[in-house]
Chains A and B, each alone.
Chain A
Amino acid sequence: MIPSATLFGLAGAALVGIGLYGFLAHAHLLRRLLSFNVLGSGVFLMFGAAAWRSPWIGADAVPHALIITGIVVKLAGSALAIALLVQLARATRRAALPEDEGRPP
Chain B
Amino acid sequence: MIGTALDLVVVALLVAAALAAVGARGLFAGVVFFVGYGVFVAIAWLRLDAIDVALAEAAIGAGLTGVLLLGAVGHLTRAGAGAPPRRPAIPLALACAGISVMLGWAVLSLPDAPGLQAPVAAALPGSGSTNPVTSVLLNFRAFDTLLESIVLLAVLVGVWALAPDAAWGGRPGLVQRVRPDGVLAGFGRLLPPLGLLVGVYLVWAGTKQPGGAFQGGTVLAAVWLLASMAGVARAPRVTSLILRAALVAGPVLFLAVGMAGALGGSFLGLRPDWAAALVLTIEVGLTLSIASALALLVLGPPERPA
Contacts and interface: CB of A to CB of B under 8 A. Distances in A.
Query: What's the interface size class on B, roughly?
Result: 35 or more
Contact of B27 (A30, A77, A85): A30
- Chain A interface size, as a band, is 35 or more
A15 B12 CA distance: 11
Given A30-B72, A46-B107, A65-B133, A87 B83 contact: no
B86 A4 contact: no
Interface string B249-274: 00000000000000000000000000
Contacts of B203: none
Interface in A70-92: 71-80, 82-90, 92
A61 B133 contact: yes
B287 interface: no
Given A17-B96, A38-B37, A78 B107 contact: no
Nearest to A76: B155
Contacts of B178: none
Interface of B: 1, 3-4, 7-8, 10-11, 14-15, 18-19, 21-23, 27, 30-31, 34, 37-38, 41, 44-45, 47-50, 52-53, 56-57, 60-61, 64-65, 68-69, 71-73, 75-76, 79-87, 89, 92-93, 96-97, 99-101, 103-104, 106-108, 110, 112-118, 120-121, 132-133, 135-137, 140-141, 144-145, 148, 151-152, 155, 158-159, 162, 214, 290, 294, 297-298, 300-301
Given A7-B7, A9-B104, A80-B159, 18 more contacts: A2-B7, A12-B103, A17-B100, A22-B23, A24-B89, A41-B61, A53-B112, A62-B120, A64-B136, A65-B136, A68-B53, A69-B148, A75-B61, A76-B155, A79-B159, A80-B155, A89-B79, A89-B81
Interface of A: 1-2, 4-22, 24-31, 33-35, 37-38, 41-42, 44-46, 48-54, 57-62, 64-69, 71-80, 82-90, 92-96, 100-101
